[in-house]
Structure 1
Amino acid sequence: MDRINLSSPTVRASPGHYLPFTWPEGDFHSLPEVEHVGDKGILDLLDHRRTRRSFSALDERQLSQLLWRCARTQGIAESNYGFDLELRPVPSAGAIHPIHILVHLPGSLNWRRYDSRRHGLVELPESGEALAELVAQCHMTLPSEQATRLLLVAEAGKTGAKYANGESLIWRDAGALLAIMAVIADALGYAFCPLGITGEPWASRIAPSGVLTGVGVALVGGPAT
């Protein structure tokens, strides 16, 4: 699979103008009214989930909770693709899970990679220098000294081993992971905000050309006090 090559979205200097598509009129069929049935866990949570843009620092135990509930490896299975398939809390096309989570803790120089099998963080030497401009871009997008930065990095070759034209599957995997993280963060009482940037062109520089590509960035922290 060729490396995914999409630039980070940016806000236009001047607003564009677009007329939404007008759907043809047809018979309307009303669905049954949804009754409130009390606290139903995830259902109640989704009614009240909101993106939050003010953060306090997460401690190590809080970060552990988020990563464990979103991205840990729950089971593995052998495959013919050169790597094991995995079961994790979040869905992935073909059980491939090509998305790596890189973590940048407040005040740290280097980033760390989440090891989903051992449930721990592995420091990435020299990543602080390689991703310094990404940190600056994050700060310009949403300034926060206390937030932990999460960078989603796709190893596209894994998906390409099973699927031709599988690039869209990687983007769907990244979106599913961001969505689950947002819901779990809210359930844990954390502040969580996906940013409108991919992490490129810097994320791809931490590995040989064509191996890794940034597919999303988010900030997480405790609620602002």
Structure 2
Amino acid sequence: MHIDPRPNPNIVPEARPISWLDPVAAQIDLSAYSLGDRAFADIMTSRRSVRTIRPAPIEQVAFVVRETMRTYFVGLDTKHGRKLKTVLSAGALHPVKALITKGSGRPLYYDDDQDSFLSLGIRDERSWLSFQDECREVLPHVDGCLVALIADNRDISRLYSNHQSLLWRDAGAVIQGMAFVAEAVGLAMCPMGILGGDAISALLDPTDDFLAVGIVAIGLSDTFQNAS
């Protein structure tokens, strides 16, 4: 079995921006939300995956995404391109990015470099509708927001020769972290059993630089829920 215990020491991450279509700054007020003061042990043992979800305020869902994926430290010089977050990541590269979607409208992208949200244009409407249809087929009783996770391969593939396994590990860390934050703020959450490749086709020019690594549904728990 091939392993990569260390990244290539001769390569520095480039941390290139993503070429979205028509990105527009979105004003999302998160001031009404906080993580609260619940004990972490209580959050861990109370967490459930809920498959019947009602809409929550987009600001509350954005709070969950930001608290999971925000950057607390950005490396400089020899640490260029590396970040410190609450979730772990191979080489501190944090290639997993989050898009918040609700219906067929423009998605919100959380820019962890600028700690801001961007409203994105849709390049391929057919792929975007296909993405929505696939999600509804998997979880027909979810009416909350969907969070699509996309991995940026560009730096991690240069530093690690077996980078694919690290992408999946990083995606799992983000999903687990998001589950804890959603529980902390009283929201229901369910990871879907699909990856959401049509979201990439809808939002980016044809490329192998990005990989769909999962979808999470987040919203308010229904009274009668199927949880696991």
Compute the TM-score of the two structures, normalised by the length of structure 1.
0.74
Would you say the 8 A contact 2:104–2:132 is kept in 1? no
2:135 corresponding residue in structure 1: 138
Q: Distance in 2 between matches of 1:177 and 1:128?
A: 27
SS at match of 1:209: coil
From 96, 112, 118, the counterpart of 1:116:
112
Shift of 1:127: 5.0
Q: Which amino acid aligns with 1:49?
A: R
Q: Distance in 2 between matches of 1:194 and 1:185?
A: 12
1:224 corresponding residue in structure 2: 222
Would you say the 8 A contact 2:66–2:110 is kept in 1? no
Q: Distance in 1 between matches of 2:70 and 2:108?
A: 15
Map 1:8-157 → 2, pairs under 5 A? 41-78=39-76, 84-105=81-102, 107-127=103-123, 129=125, 130-144=127-141, 146-157=143-154
Aligned residues: 185
Query: What runs of 5+ residues in structure 1 fail to find an aligned partner?
Result: 1-38
Would you say the 8 A contact 2:108–2:118 is kept in 1? yes
Runs of 4+ in 1 over 4 A off after TM superposition: none
Would you say the 8 A contact 1:110–1:127 is kept in 2? no
Query: What runs of 5+ residues in structure 2 fail to find an aligned partner?
Result: 1-36, 224-228
Compute the TM-score of the two structures, normalised by the length of structure 2.
0.73
- Give the alignment's Cα RMSD to 1 decimal: 2.3
| Percentage of pairs with the same residue | 30
Q: 1:66 to 1:125 in 2, by over 3 A?
A: same
Q: Which amino acid aligns with 2:117?
A: L
Would you say the 8 A contact 2:171–2:213 is kept in 1? yes
SS at match of 2:60: helix
Computing the radius of gyration from Cα coordinates, the structure with the larger value is 1
Q: Which amino acid aligns with 2:89?
A: S
2:30 corresponding residue in structure 1: none
Q: Does the alignment pair 1:184 with 2:177?
A: no
From 139, 145, 168, the counterpart of 2:165:
168
